[in-house]
Amino acid sequence: KQEVTQIPAALSVPEGENLVLNCSFTDSAIYNLQWFRQDPGKGLTSLLLIQSSQREQTSGRLNASLDKSSGRSTLYIAASQPGDSATYLCAGGGADGLTFGKGTHLIIQP
């Protein structure tokens, strides 16, 4: 059974810092790895999708990497802004849908 762990559970940093969110998974037989953003009480917004054959994806200030052999993915956020404050979830795509971590609650201080 796939298990996904996200570290840290919470993070508070001043505006402008570069930061890294970590995600680990136990079963490397994933079809994809997705990073989502969730604002309080809202649904999930997809940030980046890395297909199983890929190693990384970039969108603006965001960069995500995937290492299936070690069961790890990282989300790098450059030049953080207060609007980046949210919960970030990673999820591995398998035969039975997505398996999520519990998320990293990120606060960017102005």
Partner 1 sequence: ETGVTQSPTHLIKTRGQQVTLRCSSQSGHNTVSWYQQALGQGPQFIFQYYREEENGRGNFPPRFSGLQFPNYSSELNVNALELDDSALYLCASSLGWRTPYGYTFGSGTRLTVV
Distance separating the N- and C-terminal Cα atoms of the chain: 41
Burial 67-85 (b: 16+ CB within 10 A, else e): ebeebebbbebeebeeebb
Taking residues 32 to 71 in sequence order and writing x for each that binds partner 1 by CB under 8 A, - otherwise, the string is x-x-x----xxxxxx--x-xxx------------------
99 binds partner 1 (CB under 8 A): yes
- Residue 10 to residue 19: CA distance in whole angstroms: 12
User: Which member of 75, 80, 93, 108 binds partner 1 (CB under 8 A)?
Assistant: 93
- DSSP secondary structure string for all residues of 47-62: EEEEETT-SEEEETTE
Q: How far is the CB of 104 from partner 1 (least distance, A)?
A: 11
The region of 11-19, 58-66, 73-81, 92-100 touching partner 1 under the rule CB under 8 A is: 92-100
Q: How far is the CB of 65 from partner 1 (least distance, A)?
A: 16
| Phi, psi torsion values for 71, nearest 5 degrees | 70, 40
Nearer Cβ to partner 1 (15/63)? 63
Residues near partner 1 (CB under 8 A) are: 4, 31-32, 34, 36, 41-46, 49, 51-53, 89, 91, 93-103
